[in-house]
Amino acid sequence: MQETVEQGLTTPARSKVVAGLLSFYGGWFGAHWFYLGRRHAWVFPVLACVLLGLASQAQVWWDTPVFFLLFIPAVAGFIEAIVLCLMSDEKFDARYNPGFVRETSTGWGPVIVASTSLLLGIIGLMFSIAHVVLHIWTRLGWLDGLNF
Alpha carbon distances (Å) from 20 to 37, 44, 56, 102, 124: 14, 16, 29, 18, 17
Q: Could you read off the pLDDT of 75-87 as tens digits, one per residue?
A: 888 899 999 999 9
Is residue 3's pLDDT more than 80?
A: no
Q: How far apart are CA 12 and CA 5, in angstroms?
A: 9
Taking alpha carbons only, the member of 45, 47, 22, 43 closest to residue 32 is 22
Q: Which residues contact 100 (CB under 8 A, 6 or more apart)?
A: 2, 3, 4, 13, 93
Is residue 26's pLDDT more than 60?
A: yes
Q: Could you read off the pLDDT of 48-93 as tens digits, one per residue?
A: 889 888 888 888 777 777 877 888 888 888 899 999 999 998 899 8
Cα atoms in the Cβ-side hemisphere of radius 13 Å centred on 73: 25
Alpha-helical (H) ranges within 37-108 are: 43-56, 65-68, 71-86, 89-96
Strand, coil or helix: 140: helix
For the chain, the structural domain boundaries read 3-140
Assign 5 a pLDDT band (cuts: 50, 70, 90).
Answer: low
Q: Could you read off the pLDDT of 30-44 as tens digits, one per residue?
A: 899 999 988 888 888
Q: Which residue has the higher pLDDT, 132 or 15?
A: 15
Q: Percentage of the chain with pLDDT > 90?
A: 23
